[in-house]
């Protein structure tokens, strides 16, 4: 794993060391007060055995946006990328081959002060470790529109990839799983009337051929890199697209009158997760079977093609090792 320490106001002791346990003080500030942020990305192997990383610079920038919100130090993009590239070069045999398989990459940063008392830590640790994975959501997912619990509110930390957001989501997600759903569709914290996103995915709806996805300027929604990539492809393909909130009642209406052609989640783990069932206000709605000409298929094939080096990378999204 790649490790760097933030001490006396600078990142020092950049190193790759064997994957293993960490030695933490019982008063470690991250454990008590939650200064902890992370990223999720993947490395792919092409036919020639080269390793490809998809939009890693965007992950580096987003980690720093999370850092600013959580009063943590930014990590220079060169340290992030150089650490990642050297680690992957060393670990290239761990990148599995085959479509769908990849090496999951977890960069993260957390407070290292040993101090009881609420204040920003002065010291931090940044680590990148990896783990081979197969396809994440191979089957379609069922979701429940959550209108009681809240993931994020304006002014909160919803746009940061920070540990506490996920801790707070566990209880409501577990209730939904016990009721038979894979994931929640979160609504806005104030009125619970607008669809925001899912657990670790942004969501998109195709209503009568127009793609609708929530905007990311409220500070309540994680700015997904997959979301951004899908939007860029949709624009290149002249697919009608609206970055606006879909209300729960508009979703319910579209499910009832059949204008909802498809719904899917977007995220690094699943890339595109087809949604097959949505529960709104206690009522289950089944979505139409995904046809071969579905927009989500086209977008998944394009993104996978780029990530596995089968389609030319015309947007500068790939770094090869």
Ligand X SMILES: *Cc1c(COP(=O)(O)O)cnc(C)c1O
Site residues (vs ligand X, CB under 6 A): 40, 161, 197, 200-202, 222, 224-227, 266-268
Residue length, the chain?
A: 321
Smallest gap from residue 282 Cβ to ligand X (A): 25
Least Cβ distance, residue 208 to ligand X (angstroms): 25
In the complex, least distance from residue 23 CB atom to ligand X, rounded to whole angstroms: 28
Of 161 and 274, which has the nearer Cβ to ligand X?
161
Q: Is 98 left (phi over 0), alpha (psi -120 to 50) or beta?
A: left
Which residue, 200 or 296, is less far from ligand X as judged by CB? 200
Distance CA 318, CA 147 (A): 39
Alpha helices, H only, the chain:
29-33, 56-69, 77-90, 163-178, 225-236, 248-257, 295-307
Least Cβ distance, residue 178 to ligand X (angstroms):
21
Which H or E run contains 204? Answer: strand 202-207
For the bound state, the minimum distance from the C-beta of residue 42 to ligand X, rounded and expressed in Å, comes to: 9
Give the tokens for residue 80. Answer: 């992030």
Nearest residue (CB) to ligand X, 243 versus 289: 243
Supply the DSSP symbol for 145: E
Min CB(270)–ligand X separation in Å: 9
**Of 142 and 226, CB closest to ligand X:** 226
Shortest gap between Cβ of 202 and ligand X (angstroms)? 5
Nearer to ligand X, 121 or 220 (CB): 220
Q: Using CB atoms within 10 A of its CB, is residue 69 exposed (0-12), middle (13-18) or buried (19+)?
A: middle
Residue 92 is classified by DSSP as G
Tell me whether residue 161 or residue 194 sits nearer to ligand X (CB atom).
161
H or E element at residue 151:
none
Between 35 and 226, whose beta carbon lies closer to ligand X?
226
Which residues, 6+ apart, have CB-to-CB distance to 27 below 8 Å?
114, 115, 116
2 secondary structure, DSSP code? E
Q: How would you label 194-218 residue by residue, b for 16+ Cβ within 10 Å and e otherwise?
A: bbbbbbbbbbbbbbeeebbbbebeb
């Amino acid at each position: 794993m790649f490790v760097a320490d933030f001490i006396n106001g600078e990142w020092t002791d950049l190193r790759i060391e064997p994957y293993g346990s960490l030695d933490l003080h019982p008063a470690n500030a991250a454990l008590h007060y939650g200064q902890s942020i992370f990223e999720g990305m993947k490395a792919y192997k092409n036919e020639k055995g080269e390793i490809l990383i998809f939009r890693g610079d965007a992950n580096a920038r987003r980690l720093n946006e999370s850092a600013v919100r959580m009063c943590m130090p930014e990590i220079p993009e060169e340290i992030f990328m150089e650490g990642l590239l050297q680690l992957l070069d060393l670990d290239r045999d761990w990148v599995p081959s085959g479509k769908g398989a990849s090496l999951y990459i977890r960069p993260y940063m957390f407070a290292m002060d040993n101090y009881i008392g609420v204040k920003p830590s002065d010291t931090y640790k940044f680590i990148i470790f990896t783990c081979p994975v197969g396809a994440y959501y191979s089957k379609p997912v069922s979701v429940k529109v959550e209108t009681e619990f809240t993931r994020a509110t304006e002014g909160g930390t919803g746009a940061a990839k920070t540990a506490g957001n996920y801790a707070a989501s566990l209880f409501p997600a577990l209730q939904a799983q016990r009721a038979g759903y894979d994931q929640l569709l979160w609504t806005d914290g104030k009125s619970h009337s607008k669809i925001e996103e899912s657990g670790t995915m942004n969501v998109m709806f195709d209503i009568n051929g127009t793609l609708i996805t929530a905007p990311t300027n409220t500070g309540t929604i994680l700015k997904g890199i997959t979301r951004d990539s899908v939007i860029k492809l949709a624009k290149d393909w002249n697919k009608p697209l609206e970055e606006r909130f879909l209300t729960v009642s508009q979703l319910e209406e579209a499910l009832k009158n059949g204008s909802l052609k498809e719904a899917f989640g977007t995220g690094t783990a699943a890339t595109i997760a087809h949604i097959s069932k949505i529960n709104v206000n206690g009522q289950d709605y089944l979505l139409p079977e995904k046809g071969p000409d579905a927009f989500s298929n086209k977008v998944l094939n394009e993104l996978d093609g780029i990530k596995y080096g089968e389609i030319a990378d015309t947007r500068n999204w790939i770094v090869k090792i």
